[in-house]
Structure 1
Amino acid sequence: MVELVLWRGGLERDGVRRAALVTGPGGTAELTAAGDAEDEPVAPLGDHVYEPDGAVIRARLIGDVARATGTHPLGPGIAYLTGDGFAASPFLTAFAVDAVLPFDPRRIRAELRARGIGRLEIKKRGVDLDPAAFRRGLALRGDEEAVLVVTRTADRRVALLCHR
């Protein structure tokens, strides 16, 4: 991801001060704005969690993506969005929430073992956590795979067991 591009000498676009450009297998998508997007209010956890593309986060356009997709921030200052039902957007990666766990390594380890999860992708925002060290402590075994999102909501730290 390119962090910043400054367009000058006639290459700038009128009224565009912020832009996020995402390219991928589905093509190219661009989101532009005259300035930083105002954030949406924090909402309770829905059945999906969304990770905005890094370009959207860096361009400070999370609020615009949230409004366009009917989602809301999961916690104050946290760059994860949430909502009920699947919201398709080239600017978001979706994770369906299978279980909401307290951020307690013993409870998380027990849940992962009960589900036979041996491959785990760990994502985190707003918590002090070394994913590699945390994964070692989980002693994963099994043939299933999952995504663990460790973050803060409006009132607590949680571990969200999800799948893509």
Structure 2
Amino acid sequence: MASPGRTSKFILSAVLCGVALALSLVDGAISALLPLPGFKLGLANIVSLFALYYLGAPYAVLICIVRSLLAGIFSGNLTMLFFSLVGGLLSILIMYLFLKRLSLIKVSVLGGITHNLAQLMVAALLTATPQVSYYLPVLVLMGTVCGFCMGVLCRLVFSRLQRETVYEIQ
């Protein structure tokens, strides 16, 4: 039988997965209005960052995988699944590696840049077109700006939470 701590973490991760899915779908709708092809704000990355800090890497990875699968199914765009999954998992890995060394905002910026670079690699592999690398400066800039904004939003979320509530989960 699972301990209350594990049960609480599992329930919170299920809720966070739903929030990440909703944010991902909203992000997709917003990105359809923007003139940059393939660009998303990365709203669901707030959830990944939160999960990474408060639940740990295994839960953040689980949330990323489930969110990516469900977003791909619900949007009807299974190609998006590969972009989302590779970008999300690599960004979680990089954020995890720098979690204890850098500030929350810097970790978020690294995650945003990594997510975009990973998606660029997937695009190059799927299309067999190295010219997609011309988009690299735009994606690095957008990953930096959006990673910064998502880091600030995540810090606001953290500051609003009562620490006792978060510690009860761990």
Larger Rg: 1
Common fold: TM-score over 0.5: no
TM-score (norm 1): 0.28
Structure with higher strand content: 1
Q: Determine which structure has greater relative contact order: mean sequence separation of CA pairs < 8 Å that are 6+ residues apart, divided by chain length.
A: 2
TM-score (norm 2): 0.27
